[in-house]
Structure 1
Amino acid sequence: MNWQEEFDVVVVGSGAGGIVSAITSAHNGLNTLLIEKSASWGGSSALSGGGLWIPNNHVSKKAGLQDSEEEALTYMQDVIADTGPASTYERKEAYVKNGHKMVKFLEEAGMKWVAGILYPDYYPERPGGKIGRSIEGEIFDSRLLGDYAKTMRVGELEPPIPLYSGKVASLPKAFTNAKDFNIVVGMFLSGFKHKIKGEKAISIGAGLVGRLLKIALDYKVPLRLSTPLKDLIIENDKIVGIEVEKDGQPYFIKCKAVILAGGGFERNPELRKKYHNVGTDWTSASESNTGDMLLIAQKYHIDTALLDDAWWGPAALDANGARKFLVYERSMPHCMIVDQTGERYFNESESYVDAGHAILERQEMNGKAIHSWLILESRNRNKYLFGDMLPRMTPKKAIESGFLIKADTIEELARKCEIDYDGLKATVTKFNQFAETGTDEDFGRGNSAYDNYYGDPSYKNPNLGAIEKAPFYAVKIYPGDLGTKGGIVANEHGQALKNGLPIEGLYATGNCSASVMGRVYPGPGSTLGPTSVFGYISANHIQETLLQPSTATLSHNL
């Protein structure tokens, strides 16, 4: 092999998991290269809410959370069903035991954390459940990245102000009470302060990966954009190097370890059709995630799991065709979701992964759930934010484009949306009775602290309000996703497995791997948490078992 460069470790993918892997590897004294397929760095992480679900971390505990490894494992064991090799007890234990260590390590390296102390686990009433395990990065001044700020991935919908995901619940109800109004005003004042200082403030996912990249650059980790991985070079079940594409040509890099953190297959139409029976139109993931890691893994018969699953959630396409992953919108009073028969079929306020599963299961059952409809009435539009639409301000374009269907009666709405009127009328009648009593007898909406987190506490049930005052609105709902969650099976050390045995030097984390969370979403940050923690675990395992600092003869061309 004509090697053109040599490193100890090559990390594939520049999302949070990849950058944490590179930071940890460089900190351990190993010559580390970070490569990114696209011309922008940050991956889906840069488009995300930026939270990490890390039990027993010192940031949350300092903010008042009482937590322990034992409680976290109890919770994970209870909510995550047995889904095979991806979510073994050993993997869960490794996650819990190393997560808080990673948080401390990154803080000492320069990360600045903020606790989402009010943000509940998604099943807080289950054994070991808590409120406040999520953390996120402090708002970051992207000027500190120099020229790298110009090549950061930007999403379809950027927040108008820097904000914290742990405070987002105040946004939809900011005009209903003084507490939430003051929190939102504080967000705007904070954004204004950054501006008058001349800072380029970024937050949530972009802020997280921005500061992580700054740390990686401080460790002098080279980042190569537009450098897609084309192949692994494996001899006797052992990594000896990789093939990438550089300037349109094959380029060979010798290394002793590779950490795959290159995302899932959200944007690959053939793979989505094969494993999910949906297309790519509704995903919120990075456009460069076309399943490269999975296809390479299948070529070498590397173990895979959970390929039929994703980080699902109800989504809509706005007036401009941009994807809107709906979180708080479906939890506010005076709204409900029905299929084309007019029937409700799940708790609209539940975890987005559970809601997404419900849409897919309903579609399989009756063929009338894709698309479904989010039904709103006038009080919802008058009181609450919906996406970026302020209360009482529904742009004409939203209606003229067909994003919002508007009607003066339920019968007219049913006709315009081609929903079975008798079914919808019966559902509205029953739903209004639930709103009056404050109890959803069908699906338990509002019974959980997680449901209530995005609700309006001025209501008997923070998530229930009648649908009876015109005008009425409807929005098409699709099974969107934040990314696929199936891929390479890794063990508790992050090692990729083939026939249940580790391939020496090959590691996988993030959405190119099968998730430790199985088929559920235990709490806010259950994608960024695992990709970061197992990136950290993988880099440490490489240092402990394969390499000692400075073992490679560095001959790369910077």
Structure 2
Amino acid sequence: MNLQEEYDVVVVGSGAGGIISAITAANHGLKTIIVEKSDVWGGSSALSGGGLWIPNNHVSIKAGLKDSEEEALTYMQEVIEDEGPASTYERKVSYVQNGSKMVKFLEELGMEWVPGTLYPDYYPEKPGGKIGRSIEGKIFNVNELGEYKNTLRTGEIEAPIPLYSGKVASLPKAFTNTKDFTTVVGMFLTGFKHKLKREKAISIGAGLVSRLMKIALEQGVTLKLSTPIKDLIIENGRVIGIEAEHEGQSTFIKSKGVILAGGGFENSEALRKKYHDVGTDWTSASPGNTGDMLLLAQKHNLDTALLDDAWWGPSTIDQNGAKKFLVYERSMPHSMIVDRTGSRYFNESESYVDAGHAILKREEENGKAIHSWMIMESRHRNKYLFGDMLPRRTPKEAIESGFLIKADTIEELAEKCEIDLEGLKTTIKRLNGFAEKGVDEDFGRGNSAYDNYYGDPRYDNPNLGAIEKGPFYACKIFPGDLGTKGGIVADEYGRALSNNEPVKGLYATGNCSASVMGRVYPGPGSTLGPTSVFGYISANHIKENLSELADEIAEENIDIVAN
């Protein structure tokens, strides 16, 4: 191999975890490069809600949260039942202890944080559970990035106004009460103020990675797009660089540390079929995430875990072919989700990962849950936002395309959707009884503060409403995802493991690694939180061990020789 470039640290992937890894390394004075497979940067992070679940962070505490490391660990131990190699106690401790440090570190470099004060943990009633641990980046004027703004990854649908994920619960019910209406009006006014100043204001995931990229560039980080990794260069049990490809040519980059911070394998049809028996049709993740790093991990015998799991969630595909990951829609009253026998089988308002697991389990049990149906009656469509459809504004093409099935009666709806009529009628009768009592006796819908966060506060149970007034609507529900959550096993320092031993110089974070969160989603930002924190941890560990790494490379006279 002909050595073409040399850096202290190579970061593979340009999502939030990758950028924070690079910022941390560069701030230590290390020559750092981010290599990105796509011709755009930001990864799935740019398409996300932009929140980070960081317990005991000073931003949330300043806003009124009472929290501690002990409470955070109690909560994580309580809700993360999987005791696999990725979610060890040591990894949880490392996450909790370093998360608050990372938040302060980035703030000192210019990051501006906003607390999600009303956003609950997803199991807030559990020991150690809280409301308000999530933070996100302040709305950002992307024009500050200059030419780099032109290569930021964008999704199928761009938010019409800058908003905060910690306030997004007001959007669907803005036309039902003064409080939420005022919140949404405030969002529009904020967007208008930015326009008056001729700023292009962006928020949530895109805003987060954009402000981080500005900091990275200020720290001297190099960004190289259209440069997919092809191999890890490993000699004598240590990584000394990577082989990449750029403009059709092999590029060999020597380094003292490599941080793998790319996506998972959610858009690899072959890997999805192998590990999930679910294809790529319903994922909301970045299209470039095709499992490159998982294949390299397997080639080099790295430890892997959780390959059968993902950041699941009920999803649908609209009349334009856009994939919609449903969060608030399924929490509103006057709706329910049933399989094709017409039966409910989970709490529609629960955590999306739990709901996704429920769909997959039901499909395994009766083969009639993929697809399922979300049933809504007239009051749901008349009062609440659904995706980007305003209340009382159901586009004709949504009906004509078959995205939404509309019927005047339950009998007609069951026939059009091919749902068992008697099963559906029985389920509706039972749900309506629960709505009258205000208690879901089957699945506990509305029992949690998390359920209520997206519900309608005017109801005794904010998540329950009868289904009895036509017209009725239905849309197909699939087990979509935000990305896979299985991959390379890393230790509490972010080091990639092989046979339970660290590979010197190699680190992994983000969806190419196995998640510290195990098989659950503890709170809002449980994907971006870990990728960011373990990216920060990894870069710090490289700095702390840099002299040792350099000495070993020199002693072994490791070099890259032409094939």
Tell me what 1:349 maps to.
349
Tell me what 1:537 maps to.
537
TM-score by length of 1: 0.98
Aligned-pair CA distance for 1:548: 8.4
Tell me what 1:334 maps to.
334
How do residues 125-136 of structure 1 correspond to structure 2 at under 5 angstroms?
A: 125-136=125-136
Asked if 2 retains the 8 angstrom alpha-carbon contact of 1:53 and 1:135, the reply is yes
Asked if 1 retains the 8 angstrom alpha-carbon contact of 2:505 and 2:549, the reply is no
Asked if 2 retains the 8 angstrom alpha-carbon contact of 1:116 and 1:165, the reply is yes
Aligned-pair CA distance for 1:549: 12
Structure 2 residue identity aligned to 1:235: E
* Count of aligned pairs: 553
Structure 2 residue identity aligned to 1:97: Q
Asked if 1 retains the 8 angstrom alpha-carbon contact of 2:256 and 2:550, the reply is no
What are the superposed Cα offsets for residues 229-284 of structure 1, whole Å, 9 maximum, x if unpaired?
Answer: 00000011101111000111111111111000011001000000000001101000
1:105–1:167 CA distance, 2 compared to 1 (3 A): same
In structure 1, distance between residues paired with 2:104 and 2:408: 56
In structure 1, distance between residues paired with 2:78 and 2:448: 16
Instruction: Confirm or deny that 1:419 pairs with 2:409.
Output: no
In structure 2, distance between residues paired with 1:283 and 1:83: 27
Structure 2 residue identity aligned to 1:523: G
How do residues 129-528 of structure 1 correspond to structure 2 at under 5 angstroms?
A: 129-528=129-528
Aligned-pair CA distance for 1:546: 2.8
In structure 2, distance between residues paired with 1:178 and 1:187: 14
Aligned-pair CA distance for 1:83: 3.4
In structure 1, distance between residues paired with 2:421 and 2:106: 56
In structure 2, distance between residues paired with 1:229 and 1:202: 30
SS in 2 for 1:118: coil
How do residues 11-30 of structure 1 correspond to structure 2 at under 5 angstroms?
A: 11-30=11-30
Instruction: Confirm or deny that 1:78 pairs with 2:112.
Output: no
Asked if 2 retains the 8 angstrom alpha-carbon contact of 1:15 and 1:261, the reply is yes
What are the superposed Cα offsets for residues 163-221 of structure 1, whole Å, 9 maximum, x if unpaired?
Answer: 00000000010000000000000000000000000001000000000000000000111
Asked if 1 retains the 8 angstrom alpha-carbon contact of 2:82 and 2:519, the reply is no
Asked if 2 retains the 8 angstrom alpha-carbon contact of 1:29 and 1:550, the reply is no
Aligned-pair CA distance for 1:66: 0.3
Provide runs of 4+ in structure 1 moved above 2 Å.
546-553
Structure 2 residue identity aligned to 1:301: N
SS in 2 for 1:504: strand
Asked if 2 retains the 8 angstrom alpha-carbon contact of 1:497 and 1:503, the reply is yes
SS in 2 for 1:40: coil
Structure 2 residue identity aligned to 1:351: S
1:195–1:550 CA distance, 2 compared to 1 (3 A): farther
What are the superposed Cα offsets for residues 406-446 of structure 1, whole Å, 9 maximum, x if unpaired?
Answer: 00110100000000000000000000000000000000000
- Gaps in structure 1 of 5+ consecutive residues: 554-558
Aligned-pair CA distance for 1:545: 1.3
Tell me what 1:556 maps to.
none
SS in 2 for 1:87: coil
Aligned-pair CA distance for 1:547: 4.2
Asked if 2 retains the 8 angstrom alpha-carbon contact of 1:315 and 1:479, the reply is yes
What are the superposed Cα offsets for residues 113-165 of structure 1, whole Å, 9 maximum, x if unpaired?
Answer: 00000000000000000000000000000000000000000001211100000
SS in 1 for 2:157: coil
Structure 2 residue identity aligned to 1:389: M
TM-score by length of 2: 0.97
What are the superposed Cα offsets for residues 291-322 of structure 1, whole Å, 9 maximum, x if unpaired?
Answer: 00000000011000000000000000001010
Asked if 2 retains the 8 angstrom alpha-carbon contact of 1:543 and 1:549, the reply is no
